[in-house]
Amino acid sequence: MAENLAAAGLASSVRPSVLATLEASLASGQCTTDPDALEAHAGDASSAVPVRPVAVVHARSVEDVQATLVWASEHGVPVTPRGTGTGKAGGCIPQAGGVVLSLAGMAGITSVQPEHGFAEVEPGVVTGPFRDTMEQDFGLFYPPDPNSLDRCTLGGNVATNAGGPVALKYGVTGRYVMGLTAVLANGTVIDTGRRQPKGVAGYDLRGLLVGSEGTLAVLVGLRLGLLPRPRAVISALMPFASLDAAARAVARSRQQGLLPRALELVDGVTLSRVRPHAAFPVDPSWGALLLAEFDGEPGTPERDLERFVDGLEGAGPDQVRIAADSAERTALWEMRRQMSKLVKIGTLGHISEDIAVPVGSIPTLVQRLQRVAEQHRLIVATYGHAGDGNLHVNILWEELTGAERAEDAAEAVMREALELGGTISGEHGIGLLKRRFLPLEQTSPVLSLQRALKSQWDPVGILNPGKIFA
Ligand SMILES: Cc1cc2nc3c(=O)[nH]c(=O)nc-3n(C[C@H](O)[C@H](O)[C@H](O)COP(=O)(O)OP(=O)(O)OC[C@H]3O[C@@H](n4cnc5c(N)ncnc54)[C@H](O)[C@@H]3O)c2cc1C
C-alpha cells in the first residue's frame, strides 16, 4: 500500500506538525483526531474493511472545504468526502493515511423556488426529511427515494447517482440535478448546470460530477428539480407461487403500456428470512412477492393496477392485497427498507451485489442466480427494483469456509449480468468493492478516457484515491 501511495505522489502518513496547519485553518474542534470519531468515519454500510482516517474534518462552510483541499493538495494528503456513510460500495472509506471530509454538517435548505421548480440545498441535507418538507410545506415532489432515505444525504445521492424504488417511473437522482456547486482539488469553486429545464451550452460537467463518487470534486451546493406532487398513490402486495412466475410477470410488465412507479421483487429466500420480523403476515407458501405502486390523479392508480394485473393474464399473482391506508403503506415500505439488515441475521458474512439487466432478461437472471447459489453451495437472497432491471443479490454464508466461495460467487453473479447485456452496478456505484471488476464491463479506451479526466480534475490525486479504478 505504501508503494502505491508513493507512486501516486501521496503522503502515506501525515506529520503532526502538518496536521496542525490544517487545524489552524479551521474553527476549533472542526478537525478532530479523537479515536471515537476516527472509528465512526472508518467504514460504510458495505462489507468493505473499514480504514481509520488520520483525522476527520467536519465542514460547516464552502470555505472549510476549500481550506481542506488546498492544504491536502499542498501536502499530498488523500481526502475522502463523506455524507453519512450509508454507501454500499466502500466509496467513503478513506485511503490509509488520509483525511475524511464530512459534509454531514452542511445541512441547510438554502432556498426553495417553486416558481422555477427547484430547491437549492447544502450536500448534508438528509433525503427523507427533504422530501417530506418539499411535500408538506410546498406541495412539491422530489422523487429519488433510496431505501436509506432516513439517513443518507442528498450530496451522497448525487455523488453515487442513487436510485430507489420510484426510479422505475421517475428516474434516478441525476435526472433532478439541475446544477452543482463544487470545490475542485486546488480549492477553486465552480458552478455548473442550469436554472431552467433546458440548457445545452458547452460540455455537461454537471452530468460528469453526478455519480463521480467524490473522485473529481467535492459537492457543496445542489440545485434539485422538483415536480408537482402526484395526488394519489396505492401500494399492492402480489404473492406468487414461485420466483420464476414473479420474474415472468416483471418481464411482461413493460409490454402493457403502463408504468408503475415502483415494482419491487422479493424472492422466497428473502421472504423466509424476513417472515419472523415482518409487520404483516408472510404466508410460508409464497414463493416470491411483487410490491407494486401506482400514482396519479385520484382513481387512476386503482384502474392502472387492475389493468396491470389483467394484462399479466396467466402470469398473474395468486392474490392482490392493496394497502388500506398510508399507515399500511408505510409499514410495507418499512419492511422493504429493513430487508438488507434482516436477510443477514444469523449469517457469518455477506457480499451484496447490485446488478442490473434489461428488464426482459429478469426471468433468465433469477434462474442463473439460483444456479450460482447451488454451484457455490451458498445462500443467495435476492430482492430489489426489478421493474427497472436492478436486483440486489445477497450472497450469504453461515460457516467459516463460505467466504472464499462467496468471492467466486460474486464474480459469477456480475459475469451473468454482463452476459445478459447488463451492468455490475445498477445504483450503488463502484467504490472500492467493484473496482477490480470494472474492466469486465468497460473497454480499455473507455477506462483510459476516464482516468485522463480524473487526472485533469485532480492532478495530485488527492480526491478519494483508489476508488472506481483499481
Ligand atoms: C438500508 C440501505 C438501503 C439502501 N438503498 C438504496 C437504494 O434504494 N438506492 C441506492 O441508490 N442506494 C441505496 N443505498 C446505498 C446508499 O444509501 C446510497 O449510495 C447513498 O446515496 C449514499 O449516501 P451517503 O450520504 O450515505 O453517502 P456516503 O456513503 O457517505 O458516500 C458515498 C459516496 O459519495 C461520496 N460523497 C458523499 N458526499 C459527497 C459530496 N458532498 N461531494 C462529493 N462526494 C461525496 C463519497 O466519497 C462516496 O464515494 C442503501 C443503503 C442502505 C444502508
* 90 within ligand 1 shell (Cβ under 6 A): no
* 69 within ligand 1 shell (Cβ under 6 A): no
- By C-alpha distance, which of 53, 52, 63 is closest to 27? 63
- Residues comprising the chain, all counted: 470
* 468 within ligand 1 shell (Cβ under 6 A): no
Quote the distance between the C-alpha of residue 409 and its chain's center. 22
- Give residues with Cβ within 8 angstroms of 124, minimum separation 6: 83, 103, 104, 105, 106, 107, 153, 154, 155
| Ligand 1 mean position, distance from CA 125 (Å) | 12
pLDDT tens track, the chain, 470 positions: 333 444 445 666 788 999 999 999 999 999 999 999 999 999 999 999 999 999 999 999 999 999 999 999 999 999 999 999 999 999 999 999 999 999 999 999 999 999 999 999 999 999 999 999 999 999 999 999 999 999 999 999 999 999 999 999 999 999 999 999 999 999 999 999 999 999 999 999 999 999 999 999 999 999 999 999 999 999 999 999 999 999 999 999 888 889 999 999 999 999 999 999 887 788 999 999 999 999 999 999 999 999 999 998 878 898 999 999 988 999 889 889 999 999 999 999 999 999 999 999 999 999 999 999 999 999 999 999 999 999 999 999 998 899 999 999 999 999 999 999 999 999 999 999 999 999 999 999 999 999 999 999 999 999 999 999 99
Q: What angle do CA 212, 216, 217 make, to 5 degrees?
A: 105
Using an 8 Å Cβ cutoff, are 157 and 127 in contact?
A: yes
| Ligand 1 mean position, distance from CA 293 (Å) | 24
Q: Assign residue 44 a region (left: φ > 0; alpha: ψ between -120 and 50; beta: otherwise).
A: beta
What is the number of the ligand 1 atom nearest to the C-alpha of 45? 53
* 304 within ligand 1 shell (Cβ under 6 A): no
Using an 8 Å Cβ cutoff, are 398 and 379 in contact?
A: yes
- By C-alpha distance, which of 270, 275, 278, 45 is closest to 162? 45
| Ligand 1 mean position, distance from CA 105 (Å) | 16
| Ligand 1 mean position, distance from CA 123 (Å) | 12
- In sequence order, the β-bridge partners of residue 379 are 396
| Ligand 1 mean position, distance from CA 429 (Å) | 9
Tell me which residue has its CA closest to atom 21 in ligand 1.
Answer: 157
109-228: CATH architecture? 2-Layer Sandwich (3.30)
Pocket mutation for ligand 1, best pick of 44, 47, 57, 86 (most atoms within 8 Å of C-beta): 86
Query: Any idea which residue has 472542526 for its cell?
Result: 30
Using an 8 Å Cβ cutoff, are 84 and 127 in contact?
A: no
Q: Which CATH class is domain 2-105+453-457?
A: alpha beta
Model pTM? 0.96
Q: How far are the Cα atoms of 62, 99, 443 from residue 433, in angstroms, in the given order?
A: 30, 20, 19
Cβ burial, residue 85 (10 Å; 0-12/13-18/19+): buried
**Grid coordinates in use for 90?**
466502500
Pocket mutation for ligand 1, best pick of 57, 66, 148, 216 (most atoms within 8 Å of C-beta): 148
Cβ density class 382-403: b for 16+ within 10 Å, e for less: bbbbbbbbbbbbbbbbeeeebe
| Ligand 1 mean position, distance from CA 169 (Å) | 21
* 465 within ligand 1 shell (Cβ under 6 A): no
Q: How far are the Cα atoms of 182, 197, 224, 253, 443 from residue 193, in angstroms, in the given order?
A: 11, 10, 11, 35, 29
pLDDT of residue 9: 54
CATH topology (fold) of 232-419: Vanillyl-alcohol Oxidase; Chain A, domain 3 (3.40.462)
Kindly tell me the sign of the dihedral angle through the C-alpha atoms of 170, 175, 176, 182. Answer: positive
| Ligand 1 mean position, distance from CA 252 (Å) | 31
| Ligand 1 mean position, distance from CA 380 (Å) | 24
* 385 within ligand 1 shell (Cβ under 6 A): no
* 94 within ligand 1 shell (Cβ under 6 A): no
- Rounded to whole angstroms, the Cα distance separating 106 from 150 reads 17
- By C-alpha distance, which of 428, 422, 453 is closest to 440? 422
| Ligand 1 mean position, distance from CA 103 (Å) | 12
**Sequence spans of domains, the chain:** 2-105+453-457, 109-228, 232-419
* 340 within ligand 1 shell (Cβ under 6 A): yes
- Rounded to whole angstroms, the Cα distance separating 101 from 69 reads 9
3-state secondary structure of 384: strand
- Give residues with Cβ within 8 angstroms of 267, minimum separation 6: 243, 246, 288, 366, 381, 382, 383
What is the number of the ligand 1 atom nearest to the C-alpha of 173? 11
